[in-house]
Amino acid sequence: MKNILIVAVAASMLGACGFMTPAKQYAGDVQSVAGIAVIKGVVGKPFSDDFHATIRGYTKLESSGSGSGEQKQFGIPGFTDYPSEIQVLAGEYKVQVYCFSGFTSYRPTTTLPMQAGKTYLLKCEVRDGQALVVVHASDTQ
């Protein structure tokens, strides 16, 4: 009985590790929702064929054409979960998504020009063995 309790506690702690990534991904003071862009992954229904979308990382693309700027990678693949929501400053980003359902996973990327005050909902759709990231933008509530 004691071993089962230890395993359950350890599994709970490891499962929670992926959700410890703070949503705020910008330097400085916390800004209101009007000053940031929010990226959220869609979580599919449990025990269905729906795919979950989480965020593996991102690169902020520089507007000067000089290449990429700030980069961030989340988690340790195969060990921790990736965050399902992050908050960034407005700009253009290349977002790396982790789409998974059961033992099937994909790692697509999408480029998003993001505006402050908006939430970008990422949904994974798999067609003919290829994962696509469908993005729906709305005003942040």
Q: Give residue 70's pLDDT band: very low, low, confident or very high (50, 70, 90).
A: confident
- In SS3 terms, the chain reads as CHHHHHHHHHHHHHHHHHHHCCCECCCCCCCCHHHCEEEEECCCCCCCCCCEEEEEEEEEECCCCCCEEEEEECCCCCCCCCCCEEEECCEEEEEEEEEEECCEEECCEEEEEECCCEEEEEEEEEECCEEEEEEEEEECC
Domain count, the chain: 1
Pairing assessment for the beta strands 118-127 and 37-41 based on DSSP bridges: parallel
Asked whether the predicted pLDDT for residue 99 surpasses 80, the reply is: yes
Quick: pLDDT tens for 5-27.
444 444 444 444 444 566 888 88
Residue 121's pLDDT is 97
Quick: pLDDT tens for 80-96.
678 999 999 999 999 99
Residue 11's pLDDT is 44
Pairing assessment for the beta strands 52-61 and 37-41 based on DSSP bridges: unpaired
Q: Which domain holds residue 85?
A: 2-139
Decide which of 81 and 130 is more confident: 130
Output the pTM of the full model: 0.78
Residue 3's pLDDT is 54
